[in-house]
Structure 1
């Protein structure tokens, strides 16, 4: 069994598409119109046939209370692996990304948490070798 697809709920698919591709560096895998929205997935350019991230519209009534609770507690909705958290933190800050947690070593990992501009906190992390 393998993870094939996971999702983040986004307030605006176009804004999410811009942020996740132009800022974070993911590539579009699928962009299929479905009514007013899309089946919109992105992948890592390092693993174009790897796990897809669905930029899912946040219109379902259960999404708002769920995301509001996560945001209120500062809990990231997703976590992405990077080789160097501090370097990625500096690169993204240079692009105007707002962080809610600066890089912090936590035992075997170093993490930082950013705001994806679409209603989510996203953690970036590296494994400390």
Structure 2
């Protein structure tokens, strides 16, 4: 059997704000932005060349709004692999991304931790192992 993750739903406050951040700050590609109703859109973004996408899902009620930026209870939520952590760290820092951990060497490679615009924690990883 062969399986893979296709996309991950990420709660956001505002579609356009999220699209702007993920495409202009993190350099993701906007794959789709389809209006489904007056209040709902199907918005997918992805790092260049990735087979897994983020579905930017606007919080639809107060319960969902409380979970924005806290979908994993404060743990690292997403893992962004790169071929050069230091390059991306410098670029993201210059664009205002808040890092809570500078790049550091680990057994598995080099890792740094940043917050996205809503406070979700991301590992930025340059792996020394096959992905």
Same fold (TM over 0.5): yes
Partner of 1:37: 40
Structure 1 counterpart of 2:77:
77
* Greater CA drift, 28-37 or 53-62: 53-62
Corresponding residue number in structure 1 for 2:14: 12
Assess if the C-alpha contact under 8 Å between 1:15 and 1:118 holds in 2. no
Q: CA deviation at 1:9?
A: 1.8
TM-score (normalizing by structure 2): 0.81
**Aligned residue for 1:27?**
29
The residue correspondences of 1:55-94 to structure 2 (distance < 5 A) are: 55-59=56-60, 61=63, 64=66, 67=70, 70-71=73-74, 75-94=75-94
Classify the secondary structure of the residue corresponding to 1:15.
Answer: helix
In the superposition, the TM-score normalised over structure 1's length comes to 0.82
Structure 1's unaligned 5+ residue stretches are none
1:112 is aligned to 112
Specify the SS of the correspondent of 1:20: helix
- The higher-RCO structure (CA 8 Å, 6+ apart) is 1
Quote the Cα distance in structure 2 between the aligned partners of 1:40 and 1:6.
12
Compute the RMSD of aligned alpha carbons.
2.2
More helix by share: 1
Number of residue pairs the alignment of both structures matches: 124
How far apart, CA to CA, are the structure 2 residues paired with 1:87 and 1:101?
Answer: 15
Other structure's SS at 2:21 match = helix
Change (3 A) 1:39 1:109: same
